[in-house]
Structure 1
Amino acid sequence: MASKAKHVRRLSLAAGIGVLAAAVAVVAGAPSDLPVMDGVPTAAADEVGMSAERLERLDRVMQAYVDRREVAGVVSLVARRGKVVHFSTFGSRDAEAGAPMTHDTIFRIASMTKPVASVALMMLYEEGHFQLRDPIAKWLPEFADMQVASVATYQELGRARFRTEQASQPITVQHLLTHTAGLPNTYRGITKPDFDAIGPQREPGDTLAAFVTRLSTLPLNFHPGERWEYGRATDVVGRLVEVMSGMRFDRFLQERIFGPLDMVDTHFYLPAAKLDRFAAQYRPREGGGLALTEAPSADSRFVREPHSYFSGAGGLVSTARDYFRFHQMMLNGGELDGVRILGRKTVDLMTLNHVGDHGIWLVGPGYGFGLGYAVVQD
């Protein structure tokens, strides 16, 4: 892996658009009547050097997405210099039930979980639990002596024979945080459905420990550090947090991040009392429009028992308000409202490019990848 970390302009994932299949949580926006919400300081656009006229265009864009049935609903929030200048809603939280989108709607935030998990691990870095170049087998011995799949051929559906070779180097903590560990989403020459037939799948009552152990039995897709591939590594990050801290991953996040930052609606499993604020989930329908994939009910995997698997790669639900607070902490250099989560130098380290010239296909040219974050290169 290229070790030179280039200086970059930070790209906060809170400043992007997160499409959550059912709806959209956008932490960006334009002026409107701002709701009064605890933990959300507000200002007029011109007070923070923004154009209210230009920001108003976002309302039209978001409403157009809803009108074209590309999304069911949107929450949009824009902040600058720590002040929210726009916080609006569009469309439906649950179209089938006729429930409108609200400012406090709770979304499945999918891969927006990854920065939270990465921050958790870097808190332990600051406490001296590891160095970035430490092999993860130091804590997870099942990842020692990993093999790499050089050729994969199928004998019959659901059975693969791999020609493998010894990995050129151990998987390090840095490899996990930068998505360069080689953990497979699929293999060259194998279709995604066929990979799913042999890959480790979530099972009822699973834990991070059990799933990560099964993941370690698969050959890597490439040698650690050889290239960049977005994938499952952040579930292993969550498991490292458990082993190093001695705490279950969800408890660590609640006690060390969510509680201190007053992120009151961020959970792995949604309390039943908040179900009436949970967004339905949709997918694009062939020919246009949206198809419901999961109603906001007690049968959702984000609600029902057992509450045992806490995915660092994509397991959280949250609100625009909570996610704004998390990333305002990062933009402030690791501190919010007098609560310090990370040191400023650690935030700077996380938002450097750690992958050299590896192509970041997820976002395109001009981007690198830091420790849990995509970054825009200067």
Structure 2
Amino acid sequence: MLRRAKRWLMAGALAAMAANPAIAETTFDLPPSVQFSDKKLERIDEFFNKIIAEGKIPGAIVYIERHGKPVYHKYFGVRDVATKEPMTDDTIFRLASLTKPFTAFAVMTLVDDGKIKLDDPVSKYIPAFADTKVGVEKKREDGEKYLDFVAPKRPILVSDLLLHTSGITYGFYGDSLVRKTIAAAKIYDGDPSNAEFAERIAKLPLQEQPGTLWDYGNSYEVLGRVIEVASGKSFYEYQKERLFDPLGMKDTRYYLATDEQKARMAQPMPNDADFRVGRPSRPDIVKKWESGGGGLTSTPSDVIRFVRMLHNKGELDGKRYLSEAVFKDMTTDHIAPNSGVERDYFYFPGDGFGYGYGLGVRTDAGNAKPPPPGSLGELKWDGASGCYFVVDPKLDMFFVLMEQTPSHRQPIQRELKKLVYEALDN
């Protein structure tokens, strides 16, 4: 794995921003007084109509809300090129890793209730993690690499799972021996329950010592089981009772059990159907395992409700879902320069972003000149299927993109964000 030769090249970035007049000319950290231009918002229409005409995606839905009111809500293309059914607010999308903020939020409700402590060792809930080892690559005299297994210097904590600092990684990217070991273990085979899946993870080596590196992996699968043990309910049952039903998210679930639900499912282009997440993405086949890291399906209307609640700092329609203190903790960067957590080539929040619990948090402009658009304090996340949201507290705004395209998702997300911020005029 590639690591930076120096940690945190961003030190002093905020001061540099203040001294650099070029930043004021970009769409980074705009003043709250800016307003949307209807004419410039039309560029979003032009962009999506173009890429659909080019056959890159079947369709998409884009929603922008500011000051509590929708300013843009458009439907492009179709949900499935085979059926030619149009995009609608009840179209069902695979969320992939956009599932993770929902899992993190569920954990934080249990923290709020005093049923989970962030510094609890994971072995308190899943005893098998008391025996987990770290895999250290070494070389034999003939140059052959092998894994040596050493004890963690400290236990994996619940906060490590939330922050991706547990040492638990994925096996479908990178070429380390630990990742190859995970891939060879075929942990997705069969029909394991959440409890059984967590046991499979506990038997595998950690990529690094807990608390030392942001490393994307199966941590959120383990959190699903932690929630079950702490709440006494199944993972989905707890989320449904505590979050989905109260928020009115009637179409958010792990599996599609009815033909009517399956008929509403958005599909990627036939030549772009590999989500490249190391496992099948088939929510139409009901199984026991409820993937807290990537298994949810949902609709634009449901996701907008959740993101609106995040934008309102844990409250919506007069109901508070997280206390102010716990919500602030969830949306604060916990891997800053003095945290001891490294970042490497696979740091997916990206330049200029720290990480809270399940969310990227904008902490500085980053190193690009000019910096990407946005504001300090921005919250975001996305998934391999293409679904994406951004919350900008400074501008009192959020937007949601729903699409199904593993191949084109990142260029589309970047362009949409650029067009959204360029549509804001002084």
Contact 1:152 1:188 in 2 (8 A): no
If each structure's helix is expressed as a fraction of its own residues, which one has the higher value?
A: 2
Amino acid across the alignment from 2:313 = G
Which residue of the other structure, out of 283, 297, 301, is the alignment partner of 1:302? 283
The answer to whether 1:91 aligns with 2:71 is no
- Who is 2:176 aligned against? 189
User: Percent identity among equivalent residues?
Assistant: 35
- Residues 1-378 of structure 1 aligned to structure 2 (within 5 Å): 49-151=35-137, 162-186=147-171, 189-190=176-177, 194-195=180-181, 197-272=183-258, 273-282=260-269, 290-292=271-273, 301-306=282-287, 308-357=288-337, 358-359=342-343, 361-377=347-363, 378=376
Asked whether the equivalents of residues 256 and 286 of structure 2 are also in contact (C-alpha less than 8 Å), the reply is: no
Change (3 A) 1:152 1:196: farther
Runs of 4 or more, structure 1, over 3 Å off, are: 186-192, 194-197, 290-294
Give per-residue Cα distances to partners, 1:16-70, cap 9 Å, x unaligned: xxxxxxxxxxxxxxxxxxxxxxxxxxxxxxx994222222211112222212222
Secondary structure at the aligned position of 1:84 is classed as strand
Deviation at 1:305, TM superposition (A): 3.2
Report the alpha carbon displacement of residue 277 of structure 1 after superposing the two structures with TM. Answer: 1.1
Offset of residue 247 of structure 1: 0.3
- 2:343 counterpart letter in structure 1: G
TM-score, scaled to structure 2: 0.69
**Shift in alpha-carbon separation, 1:258–1:153, aligned structure 2, 3 A:** farther
Report the residue type matching 1:168 in the other structure.
K
Q: What CA distance in whole angstroms lies between the structure 2 residues aligned with 1:220 and 1:88?
A: 44
3-state DSSP class of the match of 2:247?
A: coil
Shift of 1:153: 8.1
CA contact (8 A) 1:235 1:311 kept: yes
Distance 1:221 1:191 in 2: 6
Q: Contact 1:132–1:173 at 8 Å: present in 2 too?
A: yes
Please state how far the C-alpha of 1:282 moved relative to its aligned partner: 3.9
Please report how far the alpha carbon of residue 347 of structure 1 lies from its aligned counterpart in structure 2 after TM superposition. Answer: 1.3
TM-aligned CA distance change 1:99 to 1:373, over 3 Å: same
User: How many Å separate the matches in 2 of 1:203 and 1:109?
Assistant: 21
2:148, 2:184 → 1: CA distance?
15
Provide closer, same or farther for how the CA distance between residues 230 and 128 of structure 1 changes in structure 2, counting only shifts above 3 A.
same
Q: Which secondary structure does the structure 2 equivalent of 1:342 belong to?
A: coil
- 5+ residue gaps, structure 2, are 1-6, 12-32, 364-375, 377-426
SS in 2 for 1:330: helix
What number of residue pairs does the alignment pair up? 318
The answer to whether the 8 A contact 1:200-1:215 is kept is no
Bigger fraction of residues in strand: 1
Distance 1:153 1:85, change over 3 A: farther
Tell me the distance in 2 between the aligned counterparts of 1:197 and 1:109: 23
Tell me the alpha carbon deviations over residues 238-293 of structure 1, each in whole angstroms, 9 at most, x when there is no partner.
1111000000001011111110000111111123122221111347xxxxxx3445
User: Structure 1: 5+ residue runs without aligned partners?
Assistant: 7-46, 155-159, 284-289
**How far apart, in 2, do the equivalents of 1:271 and 1:152 lie?**
48
Give the direction of change, closer, same or farther, for the CA distance of 1:221–1:119 in structure 2 (3 Å limit). same
Report the CA distance between 1:200 and its aligned residue: 4.3
Q: Secondary structure at the match of 1:86?
A: strand
Residue type of the alignment partner of 1:177: L
Query: Structure 1 residue 304: deviation in Å?
Result: 2.5
Query: Are 2:125 and 2:226, in contact at CA under 8 Å, matched by a contact in 1?
Result: yes
The amino acid that maps onto 2:323 is G
Contact 2:178/2:206 (CA < 8 Å) preserved in 1? no
